[in-house]
Amino acid sequence: MSESKKTFVITRFDPDKDEVPKTQEYEIPVHEDWKVLDAINFIKDEVDPTISHRWSCRMAVCGSCGMMVNGEPKLTCKTRLSDYGDRVIVEPLANFPVIRDLVSELDGFMEKFQAVKPWVIRAKEEAGAVSASNPPKSSKGTFVQSAAELAEFKQFSLCINCMLCYAACPVVANEPEFLGPAAIALGHRYNLDSRDQGLDERNEVFRGEGTVFSCSFANECSEVCPKNVDPAAAVNQAKFGAVIDWATSLVLPRPGASKEGGK
Amino acid sequence: MAGPAHPKAMTPSKPGRTRTAPPQMPASWWSHPRIRTYLLFDATGLVYLLLGLVALRVIWALGAGPEVWDATLASLSSPLYVAFHVIGLVSVIFVGVRFFSFFPKSQPPRIGPAKPPPQPVILAGLYVAWIGVTVLFGLILAGRIF
Amino acid sequence: MVEVSRHDIIIVGGGAAGLRAAIAAAEADPSASIALVSKVYPMRSHTVSAEGGAAGVAREDDNFEMHGQDTVKGSDFLGDQDVIQYFVEQAPKELALLENWGCPWSRNDDGSVATRAFGGMTVKRTWYAADKVGFHMLHTLFQHSMQFENIVRYDEYFVSKLLVEDGACRGVAALDIRTGDMHAIVGRAVILATGGAGKIFPFTTNGMIKTGDGMALAYRAGVPLKDMEFVQYHPTGLPGTGILITEATRGEGGHLKNSEGERFLVEYDYGVGQKAELGPRDMISRASILEMEAGRGIQGSYGEYVHLDLTHLGEEKIMSRLPMVRELCKIYAGMDPVHQPIPVRPVVHYMMGGVDTDIDGATTLPGLYAAGEVACVSLNGANRLGSNSLTECLVFGARAGLHSLEFAKGSAAGSDDGLRAQAEEEAARVDALRGRKKGGEKIAAIRHEMTSAMESGCGVFRRQESMGAAVEALVQLKGRVSDLRLEDDSKVFNTEVIAALELHNMLDVAEVVAVSAHHRKESRGAHTCRDFERRDDQNYLYHTLCYHDPSGPRLDKKDVTLGRWEPVERKY
């Protein structure tokens, strides 16, 4: 294995000691097949144990290690070091408050995430005739869902909550109320699921302030998504759904919980 | 980083238990080619605003008598206006192409019981419609129909 | 002063077992307050990395009897058969429940849930969502849990001590990682759901967070750890990183090949018979190592490996059933399994052992429960079958949730003052550790020596001598760890002090593994001792218990619950 040296410029911030974030440089030997995360872990273990960062699975599925690498949001465990030159700038995710060093504040995201009601919502009266809005269940207690119905939402269920899309989105940077790409994609994922009946409830959320219509379709979220979820598609499909929903409500004032719409 | 984001960006409703550094915009927001394209896209709004004002002026000229109308037409053929209209045309094509590239994926997999056609078909449809409308207008302007 | 917050049930760990327990309790009693305490945000829990599937009888040609028999045989007859019976009966119900909560299980043509073949299972009974099953299960559970207002999350709190009063577990001392302050989270029952301890080994599929915290907490509180010698090596990890390549690759028809291009499980007798690649993990891991020892391995920059060949499956099948495998291979091995065989070698994957519990998840300490990989309810015995563990998290997570709720109802709350005093003592311990610049030992160095000792002593093949050497090395490391040097004196998000606490936990667990392994003078399931190559039911058909004692780990025995499946020679 050939080794070379690279310099890492890492953001340091300790609220008890620093007024504002500063940077610190580390020159270390790197292996050619390292990811950016391997280099940060090397610095933490061997050079400076005072650096704080989050990581766990190192296989691009837990979503912990999102950071800015040379100004772009990256999942550092899958970002090849060999794609970068001798100086690599590592910063905490953009558009998030910073707790310390490379650790950003997640609770704002968690609130938005919860706001879209990311769980299967079923109408109160479960019994009654089987219909499109009340699909049949098998004798084993599972829903019948075709492969085609699964394919309709599958892509939007692949989000690992790494929040790179929030770091890339120009609307997130300027509009604190904006629900943002991952949260809207998640709500949309449940709206598209044939087992779910929560469309109306979620459209209430989507019609509110700072939601789907705040999106200006910069498409940055989809550009940086490490899992090809394409949140921009979800947000704009949700826009479409919300418009249809609004238009139908003009024609048919809904009595309680009418169904269909964008499903 | 390239400057502060909104100070409340991604901030939880209940303040955190420790002091945080304020959110920053990504460094790439200005320098990255992708972002430049997006900013250019946003900037075309200005071109449309100006085009709209020109159109208003032309409509106003219609009602202001033949001399004004002729003078307006004459001024529109000045090189400056021609250049402006070329910019307008490029903007329209740029926005159209960008919009077309995003439109197919923004269609939900189902609208009521109906399924939209596959994405390549939607994209092809948009281009066919665009070319069709352009040809139609060309024919009208050339006096071949109506 | 240490802040005290009060709940009814405190769950430590936010993976599949912890979330399932929380949901079960929250549903059963909406007035009960449930604290979910985790050192990471729940969606980061290591359940997320599970790939292949979750087992539960689903097809017409399958039944509980068959699932039970496969599990007992897989366990090398060390599984408790009452537990296994309960498990196989509950499995389909739990998986159906998850389906109702939105888990995107892959489907058959008729819209029913699809199942795939897995190692050691005679019928296709492994439910799957492509090859991201753990990911989908975890996210489904976490998202579903968000609708319960009585589940209160403590994200990024590191539990460093169990609070015990009047002989019962009544809470936890938890370090708020963000502020660096200790909290006392007190209640009437505590459930441990912190997962395994793969990080005591250098080469593991496990993520950084799997440091055996819950095992160490229970152990130090006087609860025995059971069957800790049984460490599962998964046959197919990527060399270097140890990233898991799912068993579903073989379930879907992949072949293991040696340097000669032979399917060695077919060409040579490794005891897996007709099952070949669908044999149990312990046997296939041994076979892979023996192939390398016979000179039929392939040399790479990260040591020897064998090939996992999927090229005959075709791109379409790989993309629909195993998309993540392809993604992982491209990113972490620089190759495409559609066109090339994948380099793989056995890698530490799972701890069969854990905190000794009964079928309800209850431990010997009243009020303390455990479920999931941290626990040893004795479903898996000496070798777990692939895809039983995700289901185990659901079945026994739910049961622990309900039984802890019952216990909590009949149990008095502890005293705030007494529990606070304990937490304050713990706070002082952590404060003394933080920024301890007078020490001489580096965390990374001790960790490295520990993992090396475990690899050479407690690998796929073990020897009495090497296990003895590991025990000695660990005793010595446990002495040195009291003199750690920590550089970071900051209170906010100090990950160095967390790493130090985790290192203490890992050393405790590693010592128990080595001591338990050293004592078992037979070969059973995943414990293969070259000095005693046969299983010895006469002398070793029992569970190993290991108690914490100031003078060192103390061993004891516990009977295996046998039943209708009599121990016979394990041959496939």
Residue C272, domain CATH: 3.90.700.10
Distance, in Å, from the CA atom of C182 to the CA atom of C5, rounded to the nearest integer, reads 11
Same domain, C356 and C453: no
Per-residue pLDDT tens digits for C9-29:
999 999 999 999 999 999 999
Q: Which residues are within 8 A (CB) of C528 and not within 5 positions of it... i.e. 6 or more apart?
A: C282, C286, C460, C461, C462
Q: Which of C37, C87, C142, C106 is nearest to C248 (CA)?
A: C106
Q: Give A-chain residues touching C495 at CB under 8 angstroms.
A: 44, 52-53
3-state secondary structure of A209: coil
Query: What residue spans define the domains of chain B?
Result: 23-102, 111-146
pLDDT averaged over chain C? 97
**Chain-chain contact of C92 with A106 (C-beta, under 8 angstroms):** no
Residue-level pLDDT at A263: 35
pTM of the model: 0.95
- Locate the chain B residue with the closest alpha carbon to A216: B42
Q: Which tens digit of pLDDT belongs to each residue from B55-85?
A: 999 999 989 989 999 999 899 999 999 999 9
Flag whether C558 is in a domain.
Answer: no
The answer to whether residue C155 neighbours chain B at the CB level (below 8 Å) is no
Among candidate residues C491, C508, C514, C513, the one with its CA nearest the CA of residue C549: C508
Q: Are residues C261 and C340 in the same domain?
A: yes
Calpha distance B16→C156 (Å, rounded) = 13
Q: Could you tell me if A96 lies within 8 Å of chain C, comparing CB atoms?
A: no
Taken in order of first residue, the domains within chain A and their CATH numbers are 3-104 (3.10.20.30), 107-251 (1.10.1060.10)
Residue of B nearest to C180 (CA): B18
Return d(Cα C559, Cα C320) in angstroms, integer. Answer: 45
| C460 shares its domain with C380 | no
Shared-domain flag, residues C221 and C239: no
Which residues in chain A are contacts of B109 at CB distance < 8 A? 152, 192, 237
| Helix axes of A181-192 and A199-207: crossing angle, nearest 10 degrees | 150
CA–CA separation, A180 and C61 (whole Å) = 47
- Using CB atoms, which chains have 3+ pairs under 8 A with B? A, C
Cα four-point dihedral sign A244, A246, A251, A256? positive
Kindly state whether C440 is in contact with chain A, defined as any CB-CB distance less than 8 angstroms. Answer: no
What number is the average pLDDT over the span C350-373? 98
Across the interface, whether the CB atoms of B18 and C178 are under 8 A apart is answered: yes
Check whether residue C25 and residue C78 sit in a common domain. Answer: yes
ipTM of the modeled complex: 0.96
Could C496 and A144 be called an inter-chain contact, meaning their C-beta atoms sit closer than 8 Å? no
Contact C112 A106 (CB under 8 A): no
Is position C568 within any domain? Answer: no
- Residue C402: closest CA among C67, C11, C57, C85: C11
Based on the fold, state whether residues C121 and C157 are members of the same structural domain: yes
| Residue-wise pLDDT tens digits, C36-63 | 999 999 999 999 999 999 999 999 999 9
- What confidence tens digit (pLDDT) does each residue in A142-169 have? 999 999 999 999 999 999 999 999 999 9
d(CA C362, CA C358): 5
Residue-level pLDDT at C451 = 98
One domain for residues C282 and C200: no
- Which residue among C395, C421, C447 closes a domain? C421
CA C49 to chain CA centroid, Å, is 12
Q: How far apart are the C-alpha atoms of C462 and C449, rounded to whole Å? A: 18
Handedness of CA C462, C464, C467, C473 (dihedral sign): negative
User: Mapping DSSP to helix (H, G, I), strand (E, B) and coil, where does residue A199 land?
Assistant: helix
Question: Which of A56, A113, A150 lies at the smallest CB-CB distance from C208?
Answer: A56
A97 vs B contacts (CB less than 8 Å): 9-11, 16, 20-23
- CATH architecture observed for domain B23-102: Up-down Bundle (1.20)
Confidence of residue C480 (pLDDT cuts 50, 70, 90): very high
Give Cα separations from A21 to A12, A14, A73, B20 (angstroms): 6, 8, 18, 10
Distances in Å between the alpha carbon of C136 and those of A30, A184, C346?
Answer: 35, 18, 25
Half-sphere exposure for C8 (CA within 13 Å, toward CB): 22
Same domain, yes or no: C245 and C309: yes
Q: What contacts A180, CB < 8 A, 6 or more positions away?
A: A109, A112, A165, A166, A169, A171, A172
Query: Does the pLDDT value for residue C285 go beyond 90?
Result: yes
Rounded to whole angstroms, the Cα distance separating C290 from C292 reads: 5
Please, what sign has the CA dihedral across residues C373, C379, C385, C391?
negative
Q: What percent of chain B has pLDDT over 70?
A: 97
Asked whether residue C121 falls in the same domain as residue C10, the answer is yes
As a whole number of angstroms, the distance between CA C539 and CA C529 comes to 15
One-letter identity of residue C481: V
d(CA C133, CA C127): 8
Are the beta carbons of C492 and B18 separated by less than 8 Å? yes
Contact A49 C496 (CB under 8 A): yes
Please check whether residues C243 and C225 belong to one and the same domain: no
Q: Which of C291, C138, C308 is nearest to C237 (CA)?
A: C308
Q: What is the mean pLDDT of residues C441-464?
A: 98
Instruction: Please provide the DSSP assignment of chain B as one string.
Output: --SB--TTTT--SSPPSS--BPPB--THHHH-HHHHHHHHHHHHHHHHHHHHHHHHHHHHHHHT-HHHHHHHHHHHTSHHHHHHHHHHHHHHHHHHHHHHHHTGGGS-S-BTTB-PPPHHHHHHHHHHHHHHHHHHHHHHHTTS--
Whole-number percent of chain C with pLDDT over 90? 98
Report how far apart, in Å, the C-alpha atoms of A191 and of each of A146, A206, A261 are: 16, 11, 10
- pLDDT value at C510 more than 90: yes
> Whole domain around residue C136: which residue ranges?
3-230+352-421
User: Is C572 within the bounds of a domain?
Assistant: no
- The neighbours of chain C, by the rule of 3 or more Cβ pairs under 8 Å, are A, B
Spell out which residues of chain B touch residue A175, defining contact as CB-CB under 8 Å.
6
Interface membership of C178 toward B (CB under 8 Å):
yes
- The CA distance from C532 to the nearest CA of chain B, in Å, is 57
CATH number, domain with residue C439: 1.20.58.100
Q: Tell me: do C170 and C189 sit in the same domain.
A: yes
Quote the tokens at residue A224. Answer: 């940086």
In the predicted model, residues of chain A with pLDDT beneath 70 are 1-2, 124-136, 253-263
Cβ-based contacts of C179 with chain B (< 8 Å):
17-18
- Residue A144 has which token pair? 């019948």
For residue C442, give the nearest of C401, C487, C473, C502 by alpha carbon.
C487
Tokens representing C57 are: 């009888």
The number of distinct structural domains making up chain C is: 3
Please check whether residue C563 lies inside any domain of the structure.
no
Q: Are residues C34 and C157 in the same domain?
A: yes
The answer to whether the CB of A174 falls within 8 A of the CB of A214 is: no
Which residues touch C358 (CB under 8 Å, ≥6 apart)? C377
Q: What is the pLDDT of residues C150-203, one digit of tens each?
A: 999 999 999 999 999 999 999 999 999 999 999 999 999 999 999 999 999 999
In terms of Cβ atoms closer than 10 Å to its own Cβ (0-12, 13-18, 19+), residue B46 is exposed
Does the distance separating the beta carbons of C112 and A142 come in below 8 Å? yes
Q: How far apart are CA A163 and CA A106, in angstroms?
A: 9
Between strands C54-55 and C126-127, the pairing is antiparallel
Per-residue model confidence as pLDDT tens digits over B15-61? 888 999 999 998 766 777 888 888 888 899 999 999 999 999 999 99
What secondary structure, in 3-state letters, does C140-203 show? HHHHHHCCCCCEEEEECEEEEEEEEECCEEEEEEEEECCCCCEEEEECCEEEECCCCCHHHCCC
Catalytic residues of C: 234, 250
Does the beta-carbon distance from A78 to C331 stay under 8 Å?
A: yes
Which chain C residues are closer than 8 Å to B16 by Cβ?
A: 178
pLDDT at C34 over 90: yes
